[in-house]
């Protein structure tokens, strides 16, 4: 009996040792490529200066955030995108997923590819295409003048409000298909007998959608909400290529401000690191709130 127990222990230890052997390379890579830069960035955020003139300043960079008008403007812009664009995008994705999951729809593969295609387009390419559309001599102004909706060309990207609307349009166009795939996968995991039973009981399509589909997709909706929030708070490419943060700072995002602090303005890597950690804090807080709301729903 003792020999059997000893053999089992040695076998367990052997398997455990091999397990660590396979996990260790990936763990080292994650630490080197993720955790070490995060720790280095936090240490850097407690410093000021550049090159050999750096000196420790404590949390001064973090207090500076609340007095920085450009940072506060970037936070305001990002939350405008977040509050308006994310709900629109997720609702559209849910509707598209429901349509694409319909048994009556023909050429499903074609339409699914069509919906996902914008997501596969290069970020710079899609931004430049929309920039040309909304240029003063672009397609949008051409058709609006021909339809007598406007009398003269409008500089869309030079107007603070219209520039934000175009950025929201571009983000929605690009990422709706990405979220649609998640919802479509979730819908395909729902047993069709659930819908059949609801129809037999006399439930209308609206009742089925709101009282069956949405509750059953709640975990997927929570996941896409967190991912979309995270992505919006780190928004960079679309704004950088469409408006450059202008006019003024009316469309600038936090990520673009970090880029400017590091490479456009006089290099302020310590303060840029503090700004980057503000994104981490916002992502963590909003994700926590969303998970709590998701648990109660």
> Is the per-residue pLDDT at 240 higher than 80?
yes
Residue 97's pLDDT band (cuts 50, 70, 90): very high
Q: What is the pTM of this model?
A: 0.87
Radius of gyration of the chain (CA): 25
Phi/psi of residue 151, nearest 5 degrees: -90, -30
Tell which residue, 79, 94, 274, 244, has the closest CA to residue 180.
94
Residue 275's pLDDT band (cuts 50, 70, 90): very high
Per-residue pLDDT of 44-73, as tens digits, reads: 889 887 766 778 888 899 999 999 999 999
Greater model confidence, 196 or 146 = 146
How many Å apart are CA 182 and CA 208, to the nearest integer? 19
> Is the per-residue pLDDT at 5 higher than 60?
no
Q: pLDDT at position 202, please?
A: 84
Tell which residue, 81, 79, 68, has the closest CA to residue 238.
81
Q: pLDDT at position 2, please?
A: 47
Q: pLDDT at position 67, please?
A: 93
> What SS3 state is found at 55?
strand
Domain 64-296 falls under CATH 1.10.3720.10:
yes
Q: How far is CA 137 from the centre of its chain?
A: 32
What percent of the chain is predicted at pLDDT more than 90?
45
Q: Average pLDDT of 179-198?
A: 88
Name the average pLDDT for the chain.
Answer: 87
Q: Where are the domains of the chain?
A: 2-45, 64-296
Q: pLDDT at position 109, please?
A: 83
Q: Does residue 276 contact residue 258 with C-beta atoms inside 8 Å?
A: yes
CA end-to-end span of the chain, whole Å? 52
> Is the per-residue pLDDT at 40 higher than 60?
yes
Q: pLDDT at position 7, please?
A: 54
């Amino acid at each position: 009996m003792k020999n059997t127990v000893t053999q089992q222990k040695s076998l367990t230890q052997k398997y455990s040792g091999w397990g660590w052997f396979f996990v260790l390379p990936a763990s080292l890579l994650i630490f080197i490529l993720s955790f070490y830069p995060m720790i280095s960035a936090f240490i850097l955020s407690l410093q000021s200066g550049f090159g050999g003139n750096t000196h420790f300043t404590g949390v001064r960079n973090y207090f500076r955030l609340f007095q920085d008008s450009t940072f506060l403007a970037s936070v305001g812009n990002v939350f405008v995108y977040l509050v308006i664009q994310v709900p629109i995008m997720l609702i559209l994705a849910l509707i598209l997923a429901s349509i694409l999951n319909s048994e009556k729809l023909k050429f499903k593969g074609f339409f699914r590819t069509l919906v996902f295609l914008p997501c596969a387009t290069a970020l710079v390419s899609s931004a430049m295409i929309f920039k040309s559309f909304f240029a003063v001599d672009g397609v949008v102004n051409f058709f609006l003048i021909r339809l007598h909706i406007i009398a003269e060309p409008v500089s869309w990207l030079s107007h603070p409000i219209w520039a934000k609307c175009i950025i929201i349009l571009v983000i929605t166009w690009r990422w709706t298909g990405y979220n649609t795939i998640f919802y479509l996968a979730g819908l395909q995991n729902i047993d069709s007998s659930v819908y059949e039973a609801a129809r037999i009981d006399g439930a209308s399509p609206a009742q089925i959608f709101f009282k069956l589909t949405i509750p059953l997709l709640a975990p997927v909706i929570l996941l896409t909400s967190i991912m979309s929030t995270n992505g919006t708070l780190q928004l960079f490419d679309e704004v950088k290529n469409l408006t450059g943060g202008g006019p003024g700072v009316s469309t600038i995002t936090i990520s673009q401000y970090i880029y400017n602090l590091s490479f456009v303005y006089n290099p302020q890597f310590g303060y840029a690191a503090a700004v980057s950690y503000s994104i981490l804090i916002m992502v963590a807080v909003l994700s926590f709130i969303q998970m709590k709301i998701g648990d109660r729903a």
